[in-house]
Amino acid sequence: MSKEVLLNQITAYFEQKIFLNHKKISLKQNAQLKSYNINPIVVRYLSKILADGFTPMGVAKALYYPRVLGTSINTSFGDRIQKMFVELGLARGSLIKGMDIEFEDKIDGRSKWCQLKAGPNTINSEDVRPLLKKFTTVTNLARTNSMRLNNSDLILGVLYGTRSELSQHYITINEHYPVVVGQEFWHRLTGYEEFYRELVSELDRLIFSLPTDDFINEGCAALAREIEASGILNGN
């Protein structure tokens, strides 16, 4: 597949499956009161900050903004990208527990078993040991089944960022198994050295051409109306 075709396919996937889907969910699921577990103390405080009082709109903003601008899009990002790689034929879903995808490394020609992470600061210290354990388990399984696999064939792929931005937690993992980040990861996956930079440029153009339709305010207003009608502001 040519680089141009692949760039177009991935850009279209981002538009339909990530950006427009995020908008759809924001206007439906995230605008419904039943989708939230409300901390009555914290929500009062946040409502006061956002609306200078305990009001339907203040509560709506306290609930809706973090969900739509943070949790919702970030949670779906990694899962969607993993599915995209498989659907576009860049990788296969891994049959080995603990690995997300398998693909042919376009640089060294070897099969790679890969666990995906979004960015260079997306794991914590408590994640390091379980991740290393997963990789070690796969290594032992490969030996048991006489698979031609070495440590460099098990990688942790980081979708964006640079090597200099990797947290110490990733650096610790890299001492045992390769952490491949940003441009290098996309190069190994697609075979095109500058693919990552060109993809970012294409996505920038897409993002700034997308109509927002003021869906943030529309969804927040819908949630505020539901909060007002529910009477929860009169409860505990």
Mind listing the pLDDT tens digit for each residue in 48-89?
999 999 999 999 999 999 999 988 788 778 889 999 999 999
Q: Is the pLDDT of residue 232 over 90?
A: no
Predicted confidence band at 147 (pLDDT cuts at 50, 70, 90)? Answer: low
Rounded CA-CA distance 14/203 in Å is 8
Residue 117 three-state SS: strand
* Gap between the Cα atoms of 107 and 24, Å rounded: 39
**Average pLDDT of the residues in 31-44:** 93
In the chain, what are the domains?
Answer: 3-234 (3.40.1560.10)
Is 236's pLDDT higher than 70? no
Question: What order of strands is seen across the sheet that includes strand 179-181?
Answer: 92-93, 101-104, 111-117, 154-158, 179-181
Residue 77 is predicted with a pLDDT of 85
Per-residue model confidence (pLDDT) at position 76: 79
pLDDT tens-place string over residues 157-184: 999 999 999 999 999 999 999 999 999 9
